[in-house]
Structure 1
Amino acid sequence: MTEKNQLYRKKIIKHLYFSNMLSCADLSEKINKSLPVTTKMLGKLIEEGWVVETGFAASTGGRRAVMYSLKPDVLYIVSVAMDQLITRIAILNMQNSQVTATEIFELPLPRNTGALAALTEKIDEVINRSGICRTNIAGVGIGMPGFVDANKGQNYTFLEPEQGTVTQYISARIKLPVFIDNDSRLIALAELMFGSARGKKNAMVINVGWGVGLGMILNGELFRGHNGFAGEFSHIPLFLNNKLCSCGKSGCLETETSLLVVIEKANKGLKDGKISLLKELSAEHAEEAFQEIIKAAGKGDKFAVEILSESGYNIGRGVAILIHLLNPEVVILSGRGSSAGKIWQAPIQQALNEHCIPRLASNTEIEISSLGYQAEITGAAALVMENFERSDFRKELTQPGAIAK
């Protein structure tokens, strides 16, 4: 098979992954090849077991087109979702369904010189334990916080290796293509391809977590900026609170909105005698502490709702700036913090009412992600397939995936 034909077959697989179902005419348009050539390549992929017919398109008055999809188990993706404290790893198939349970472990990133080696070892361990042949893994996608240059495969905030780049370090040890990007951008990618931003031209995706990240969808595409650093929403200087931010500046949005601040305010309120279902929360186990706040708020605990609402209002102040600058169709709350659900919407809307020009804000919807905390896992997988046609995946597309025996 020629390298050119292999490239176009990869393109077909990529588009079927993102669209789930397409007709031959759809694929012909997407890969920019004639219908007869596309039909021939598609027929070969069907013959080899990569693609299957999945019914007919909805009737438009004429003959209904046959629709095609990838078989779920033809390839797998290792998806890694990181934040500053917790890392999750799962293996997904071509329908974005997990074929392994999510591996969750604590991996603090700040000032941790052993974090990159520990991450690499854990990825290798998950692959080995899965029983999936590495030749059937399209690659490893990793979402991570920090200043990430996706093109160079480097993180300038965390995980800097002594030599080379993050992707080179991991790939050399696990013998698979590796791709990285900022966690908030991958959450936005997941929302664009599979979630609440699908079909939207201009959307802002807020990643509410230990910081407050931003992924921007402009003109229907993920916007990464000149060097890939676009979206540092956390570090908009909004407050005169003299609180030191993780970036080294003071008064950033993050200092009044992050989930770590929510936990801190909860503990302070409890010490000051606030009546609540909550008990003292452990700052060392932030994930558990935040979940306790969410549970209490879900039961109607006034104090828990108040501290989440205060954070939501301050996020809304930042969102008002985004609306004035970019005029988005929708603002989507995603990531870990989206589990607070509609508790966020009212205070954010209140902030927009107070700080936004009505004509600009009136047509912007505030939505809660349908993907939630799974968004980064989904986005990291999507990153691999976004790069699939030009990746180092060398397996000839002649025999679909298999589980090692």
Structure 2
Amino acid sequence: MTSLTEFFNLHEDDAMKGIIHKNSLIKRSIIAHMAVHGESTLSELTRELHISVPTMTKLVQELVDENIVSDLGKVETPGGRRPNIFGLASSAIYFAGVNVGRDGMTFLITDLQNNIIKEHQDPSFELQDRPQCLERICASIEEFIATCGIDRSKILGLGVCMTGRVNPDTGRSYKFFTSSEQSLRELFEERTGIRVLLENDTRSRCYAEYTCGRSKDESNVLYLHMGRGVAIGIVVDGKLYYGKSGFAGEFGHIPFFNNEIICSCGKKGCLETEVSGIAIEEKMRQQIERGVNTILKEQYDRQKSIHIDDIIAAAKHDDTLSIELIEEAGEKVGKAVAFLINTFNPETVIVGGNLAAAGDYVMLPLKSATNKYSLNLVYKDTKFRVSKMSENASAWGVAMLIRNKVIGL
């Protein structure tokens, strides 16, 4: 093996089919098995991967010599000879995850076991569909990788997620930076020299929520993201659901209302036009202009923009208007969620995004409306929970996804 990068870029359909190639594929299977199932003995690996004992012993030792797998010593057994147990080495291989948000960027490095090693936030960033913004994204990614303290040759994958319609197969965003013939994935790979996965931010966060917060019996989960936009991530039988073109989850663009409000997608009456953070911010401005009392009026009079986070904070300080706007959004989105659970019958609905921080102000009307408009047999089998993950979840999720892609999960 000349390099880790070449080792993990081997494919089963490569022209070379010799013993070296075959052994490399088996070693990748060993790594993938340990990534999913954890520490293993040689006999467990032999049984699960259907490889002979001599071959398994030889290849695991090679992985130990390459510092990808660690020999953790003897494991206790009821009797007889104690076997050695092996696990993935945390310092052998790393992955980078980047979330390009509407109003901030998050960067992190993870190891083979999905532990976060390094993290950085850039709250000054604002996503705009301009060449200067794309250049800043590229430069920021390059700077983070150069200064993160990890040997660049050990970073085998870079996951980048962003809002809007993103197709991981084509490596393109169909909302931002669409004018170039070169895909965003190709551009990031060219700039960094690292294998790249481009992904949607909600789907990335959904995967992080599912992987880190699920109970053992959950394999069908919906993640509802209520931020400045509205979207869902879908897990079916333990796998992210993409749809034919990779755009599944555009929940916020269902034509749910008979209003004349034009959505960012160009259509009228989308769910986002009434329940998104941007919609709530606009309603707050309209109500202040009509003279409705709120503690946010002073902020508005100073010509300082009102963010959804400001409205949530005001609600927690008993501001009546803020509470009413959040509860209204919760009730309306709850009716739409009833449609989702009637369709997918998930074990769990996870609610995340800025509005999740409103707690009961959004969750009580959401669950009440879902109960009212869904089938009772479906609703009673569905658990609801608020996300407990931090703002780094999307970057973490996309780092997990590029890890899975590189090691062949």
TM range, normalised to the smaller chain? 0.7 to 0.9
Q: Which of 220, 223, 231 lines up with 2:238 in the alignment?
A: 220
Structure 2 counterpart of 1:6, one-letter code? S
Residue 118 of structure 2 aligns to a residue in which SS?
coil
Is 1:363 matched up with 2:376? no
Amino acid of the structure 2 residue aligned with 1:273: V
Find the counterpart in structure 2 of residue 85 from structure 1.
103
- Residue 381 of structure 1 aligns with an amino acid whose one-letter code is A
Mark the CA change 1:367 to 1:205 in structure 2 (over 3 Å): closer, same or farther.
same
Change (3 A) 1:343 1:66: farther
CA-to-aligned-CA distance 1:287-316 (integer Å, 9 cap, x gap): x83333333334444443332222222221
Find out whether 1:273 has 2:292 as its counterpart. Answer: yes
Matches for 1:67-82 after TM superposition, within 5 Å? 68-82=86-100
In structure 1, the residue matched to 2:15 is: none
What is the aligned-residue identity percentage? 29
The one of 147, 153, 173 equivalent to 1:135 is 153
**1-structure distance, mates of 2:357, 2:40:** 33
Structure 1, unpaired ranges of 5+? 392-405
1:244 is displaced (CA, Å) by 0.6
Cα gap change, 1:281 to 1:355, in 2 (>3 Å): farther
Q: 1:301 to 1:113 in 2, by over 3 A?
A: same
3-state secondary structure, aligned to 1:229: coil
Aligned-partner residue type, residue 400 of structure 2: A
Structure 1 residues 153 and 298: CA distance shift in structure 2, 3 A: same
Q: What's 1:44 paired with?
A: 62
Counterpart Cα distance in 1 of 2:303 and 2:189: 32
State how far apart, in whole Å, the 2-side matches of 1:316 and 1:262 are.
Answer: 16
For residue 387 of structure 1, what is the aligned residue in structure 2? 405
Offset, 1:55:
8.2
Aligned alpha-carbon RMSD (Å): 3.3
Q: Which protein has the larger Cα radius of gyration, Structure 1 or Structure 2?
A: 2
* Other-structure match for 1:263: 281
Is contact 2:355–2:362 with CA below 8 Å preserved after alignment?
A: no
Structure 1's consecutive aligned runs of 4 or more residues displaced over 6 angstroms after TM superposition are 55-66, 282-286
Matches within 5 A, 1:289-308: 289-308=307-326
Provide closer, same or farther for how the CA distance between residues 381 and 345 of structure 1 changes in structure 2, counting only shifts above 3 A: same
Give the match's secondary structure for 2:222: strand
In structure 2, relative to structure 1, the CA distance for the partners of 1:39 and 1:107 (3 Å cut) is same
SS in 1 for 2:106: strand
Partner of 1:320: 338
Gap change, CA 1:362 and 1:151, over 3 Å in 2:
same
Contact residue 223 and residue 349 of structure 2 kept, 8 A: yes
CA distance, structure 2, for counterparts of residue 113 and residue 282 of structure 1: 34
Against the structure 1 CA distance between its residues 76 and 355, is the aligned structure 2 distance closer, same or farther, given a 3 Å change threshold?
same
AA partner of residue 292 (structure 2): G
In the superposition, relative to structure 1, how do residues 358 and 78 fare at CA in structure 2: closer, same or farther (>3 Å)? same
Amino acid at match of 1:175: G
TM-fit CA distance, 1:93: 2.8
Query: CA offset at residue 15 of structure 1?
Result: 4.3
TM-score by length of 2: 0.83
More deviation, 349-358/62-71 = 62-71
The answer to whether structure 1 residue 120 and structure 2 residue 158 are counterparts is no
SS where residue 249 of structure 2 aligns? coil
Q: Measure, in 1, the Cα distance between the counterparts of 2:263 and 2:185.
A: 28
In the alignment, structure 2 segments of 5+ residues that lack a partner are: 2-19
2:211 equivalent to 1:183: no
1:126 is displaced (CA, Å) by 0.9
Contact kept? 1:342, 1:368, Cα under 8 Å? no
What's the CA shift for 1:224?
0.6
Q: Which structure would you say has the larger RCO, counting Cα contacts within 8 Å and 6 or more residues apart? A: 1
Rounded to whole Å, the distance in 1 between the matches of 2:337 and 2:362 is 12
Count of residue pairs brought into register by the alignment: 390
Residues 159 and 196, structure 2, Cα contact 8 Å, conserved in 1: yes
Q: Residues 335 and 375 of structure 1 are in contact (CA less than 8 Å); yes or no, is this contact kept in structure 2?
A: no
**SS of residue in 1 equivalent to 2:98:** strand
- Report the alpha carbon displacement of residue 222 of structure 1 after superposing the two structures with TM: 0.9
Aligned 1:164-243 pairs, distance under 5 A: 164-196=182-214, 199-243=217-261
Task: Report the secondary structure of 2:199's partner residue.
Answer: strand
Alpha-carbon separation, structure 2, partners of 1:285 and 1:33: 65
- Contact 2:312 / 2:357 at 8 angstroms: preserved in 1? yes
Deviates more, 1:218-227 or 1:22-31: 22-31
Residues 358 and 72 of structure 1, relative CA distance in 2, 3 Å threshold = same
Change in Cα spacing, 1:284 to 1:111, as seen in structure 2 (3 Å) is: farther
